[in-house]
Amino acid sequence: MMNERIAQYKAAVETRLNRFFLYSDDNPLKGYGEAVRYSLLAGGKRIRAMLVLEFCRISGGDPDSAMDIAASVEMLHAYSLIHGDLPCMDNDNLRRGKPTNHIVFGEGIATLAGDVLQAEAFRTILHSGLPASSRLRCAELLADAVGLEGMCGGQYLDLRGEGTVLSSEQLDAINLRKTAALLSASCAMGVAAAGGSAAQEEAAGSFGRDLGLAFQIRDDVLDVISSESELGKPIGSDAKENKNTYMALLGEKGCERLIDTLTARALSAIHEAFSNTAFLDEFANQMAIRRY
């Protein structure tokens, strides 16, 4: 059941995303659109979008009605990857098995591609067909997730922490903002799109926050034990750059224990608020042991 629904969600999201940033050959913005689409349509697991759609479904809504909300979080995520790969940030040359945006289009256009994806994410929410109250709440949740106290703040703390040895609390402060905040918002936005209750929205956010932190810890593990062909990006870069990671702090066994704890806590939160969590149960447990 899980794999079939993932395939359905992913196909629907890809179809929706493929409609954005298309320009005719005589439009002066055609090249700009191509740079944006290069990263937006580069594949990926579409986890955030799937969480929007599934939480909409289990909150009593129609996932199709939340498709623009799902697209918006993928735009925001693509923006974060483009900017995160820039030479002034992580200076990565490979993403999802392809050259990063700035390698193909140059730093200036890559920066602009990220900029417009952030703006268009909010535009997509506000022009969706959802009731005004749902649109407003989704925009609010996304803004909180990526602003000063969210992803951007986490990136700032990450940059400030370079060259120093961080404690587990400091590492959590970075990754709860940098990675977990957008996953948490994706879950809560699915509830908001369906008009779910405040209790359901809170439970969904808690699930996403714990899942997001477990996801980051798993990424740190995979950077050491996986391969470039499996991940679609260079491995071992964290150690080469002397980055603060959970692997460096806890070791592989410690990381695996923490992933298990966070996954169990995430599932406990939604079991109390939703009656149909079978898909999310299996999904979270698979994310905990993923190899890519």
pLDDT at 236: 54
Count of domains forming the chain: 1
Q: How many helices and strands, by DSSP H and E, does the chain display?
A: 15, 2
pLDDT at 115: 97
What separation in angstroms does the CA of 57 have from each of 116, 195, 216? 29, 11, 26
pTM assigned to the model: 0.93
Q: What is the C-alpha to C-alpha distance for residues 104 and 216, in angstroms, rounded to an integer? A: 27
pLDDT at 291: 82
E strand or H helix that includes residue 117: helix 107-126
CATH of the domain at 147: 1.10.600.10
CA-based R_g, the chain, Å: 18
Gap between the terminal Cα atoms of the chain: 21
Using an 8 Å Cβ cutoff, are 283 and 4 in contact? no
pLDDT at 234: 58
Q: What is the C-alpha to C-alpha distance for residues 199 and 17, in angstroms, rounded to an integer? A: 31
Burial label for 98, CB within 10 Å (0-12, 13-18, 19+), is middle
DSSP secondary structure of 22-71:
---TT-TTHHHHHHHHHHHTS----HHHHHHHHHHHHTT--GGGGHHHHH
Q: Which ranges of the chain have pLDDT less than 50?
A: none
Task: Give the residue numbers spanning the domain of 168.
Answer: 2-288
Which residues are within 8 A (CB) of 156 and not within 5 positions of it... i.e. 6 or more apart? none
Report strand pairing: 98-99 vs 94-95.
antiparallel
pLDDT at 243: 78
Q: Per residue in 191-232, pLDDT tens?
A: 999 999 999 999 999 999 999 999 999 999 998 886 565 555
Using an 8 Å Cβ cutoff, are 74 and 46 in contact? yes
Using an 8 Å Cβ cutoff, are 266 and 214 in contact? yes
DSSP secondary structure of 127-145:
TSSS-HHHHHHHHHHHHHH
Q: What is the C-alpha to C-alpha distance for residues 24 and 32, in angstroms, rounded to an integer? A: 12
pLDDT at 163: 86
pLDDT at 237: 61
Which residues are within 8 A (CB) of 152 and not within 5 positions of it... i.e. 6 or more apart? 146
Q: Per residue in 51-86, pLDDT tens?
A: 999 999 999 999 999 999 999 999 999 999 999 999
